[in-house]
Amino acid sequence: MALILSLETSTSVCSAALARDGKLLAERVSYEGKSHATLLTVFVEQILNETHLEASALDAVAVSQGPGSYTGLRIGVSTAKGICYATGAKLIAIDTLKSMAIMAAKNASLRPDLFCSMIDARRMEVYTAMYNSNLERTCDTRALVIDSNSFAEELKSNKIAFYGDGADKCRGVIVSPNAFFIDGICPLAANMIPLAEEAFAAADFKDVAYFDPFYLKDFVATVAKNKVL
């Protein structure tokens, strides 16, 4: 019987969920944005208190590995590692875009040929990956600048569902009768549960000391326009 805590911080949404044998016991979600550092450990404490469990009872901690927000991913992975170090729990890494595809498949009113997960990467760029109807990835995860030709070849012969905060910027750009958009899809800890269970059963664990998030792109620091000395 596996007790797994899942943490999701790859976008502006912060969430945590606790599951036993794949069944959700408790979760917390915040859509406020830029509150991960403040809320994540509080969420974990609240969930453990609600379920009357100790952190020492955890078999594993699953964390969203990215791609996504550089800062958000670092907060999630650092928290997961800290819990694993303190309790001896195993560390599991979950593909962020794959967990989004699972949620999209549950919420799609029409069954598409392909699912396209998209996370906003600023301006007209997205982090994206495509999955077939069996939720198997059909292309490498990539950073893509969206224009009117994006996915043109795939849309000629496939109905494609686009979703995620990155898909919002594509609505007026990707125009095809085979393209449709699913609202309300974002990375959530609760959607990581089936993937975390699979990884635990397969003993697919990460090295707590050396695991790093999948940033996809290098972090670029910005400089404030108005410097204050």
- pLDDT tens per residue across span 181-208: 999 999 999 999 999 999 999 999 999 9
Q: 3-96+187-201 and 97-182: same fold?
A: yes
What is the number of alpha carbons within 13 Å of residue 112 lying toward its C-beta? 29
For range 123-146, the mean pLDDT: 93
Per-residue pLDDT at 220: 45
Query: Is the per-residue pLDDT at 29 higher than 80?
Result: yes
From 28, 48, 26, select the one nearest 36 (Cα to Cα): 28
Percentage of the chain modeled with pLDDT above 70? 95
DSSP state letter for 199: H
Classified by CATH at the fold level, domain 3-96+187-201 comes out as: Nucleotidyltransferase; domain 5 (3.30.420)
Q: Taking the model in full, what pTM does it have?
A: 0.91
Mean pLDDT of the residues in the chain: 92
Query: Structural domain boundaries of the chain?
Result: 3-96+187-201, 97-182
State which fold the 97-182 domain adopts: Nucleotidyltransferase; domain 5 (3.30.420)
Burial class of residue 175, CB neighbours in 10 A (0-12, 13-18, 19+) = exposed
**Tokens (6 digits) for 163:** 């979703």
Assess whether pLDDT exceeds 70 at residue 224.
no
Q: How confident is the model at residue 218 (pLDDT cuts 50, 70, 90)?
A: low
> Per-residue pLDDT averaged across 94-116, rounded?
92
Q: Angle 70-87/36-50 helices, nearest 10 degrees? A: 40
